[in-house]
Amino acid sequence: MGIELNPYLHINGTGRLQERQPQVRYGTITYDDRFESSLPERFTAEQAITRLVNSNPKINSILKNTGIPLSINYASFKPILDNHCRDVQRISKGIVQNLPFSLKNLVNEKALSDASYLHDIGKVLIPEEILNKQSKLNENETKIMHKHSELGYEILKNTNLDKTTLNLIRNHHQNAKKSGYPFVNKDFRADLNLQILTMADKYSALTEKRPYKEAFTPKQALTIIYTDVKDGKLHPFVFKALANYVNSADYINLKTA
């Protein structure tokens, strides 16, 4: 949702100032927000997240079983949303643009784009001392961190997001070998959309500076990800599309701007 300035002006999802066109219906003024209401940003304001968390009792149950209190850590989450999540969204789009035509037709671009932006929303419930720890997480902290994808799914489960988007958010740390998290049953299949999101997420995480590590170069990141391709976790065509995007003028200009 755009940033509200007054009833007649707002900043839309692209950052542009926009005038709303009022519609008079039976003596009351309403606004046509059909475009705005389709954007994933409508779920990421602190007030919206608080409402969604409070509406799903299962979230508190998951946190209780994991041993952490219910606390919405929006200040720690917001930089992740503005930087990493936007980056994953751009990388996912870049991968799609570089896929062979036959594979590109299999991509659900709306679901992939929305899931790319929303995939880490569950981290808003991860304690700040774990989220921004300056060193490697211990076993219990890792267990807590691994809950973020399931928590993200639960936060958004009762919204109007489609099942494809929700499942991408829940399973963005899974792979074709089913060796990721959270647990999946024997019928699980890491489809093309999920593999794109998984690869975009990993590449972004590797190439950005984190509290516990320095940023890897694009070449180093691609080398690490290629190990997953050799292990059968990710499809080589998706990897090739990522490599082509990373070496494209669009990507290089974006990173040097």
Mean pLDDT of 60-77: 96
Q: Are 172 and 89 in contact (CB under 8 A)?
A: no
Nearest CA-CA partner of 130 in 180, 207, 202, 68: 68
Q: Are 158 and 56 in contact (CB under 8 A)?
A: yes
For residue 15, pLDDT beyond 80: no
Q: Which two tokens stand for residue 42?
A: 């409508």
Mean pLDDT of 73-84: 97
Q: What is the rounded distance in angstroms from the CA atom of residue 109 to the CA atom of residue 93?
A: 8
Percent of the chain with pLDDT over 90: 80
Mean pLDDT of 87-107: 96
pLDDT confidence of residue 185: 94
Q: List, for residues 105-127, the tens digit of each pLDDT value.
A: 999 999 999 999 999 999 999 99
For the chain, state the CA radius of gyration: 19
Residue 37: pLDDT band by 50, 70, 90 thresholds? Answer: confident
Q: List, for residues 124-165, the tens digit of each pLDDT value.
A: 999 999 999 999 999 999 999 999 999 999 999 999 999 999
pLDDT confidence of residue 38: 84
Domains of the chain: 1-38 (no CATH), 42-256 (1.10.3210.10)
Complete DSSP assignment for 144-162: HHTTHHHHHHHHHTTSS--
pLDDT confidence of residue 203: 98
Residue 36: pLDDT band by 50, 70, 90 thresholds? Answer: low
Mean pLDDT of 74-87: 97
For residue 59, pLDDT beyond 80: yes
Q: Are 202 and 222 in contact (CB under 8 A)?
A: no
- As a whole number, the mean pLDDT across the chain is 88
Q: List, for residues 240-252, the tens digit of each pLDDT value.
A: 999 999 999 988 8
Residue 34: pLDDT band by 50, 70, 90 thresholds? Answer: low
pLDDT confidence of residue 30: 35
192-207 and 86-97 helices cross at what angle (nearest 10)?
A: 130
Mean pLDDT of 197-205: 98
Q: Are 154 and 58 in contact (CB under 8 A)?
A: yes
For residue 26, pLDDT beyond 60: no
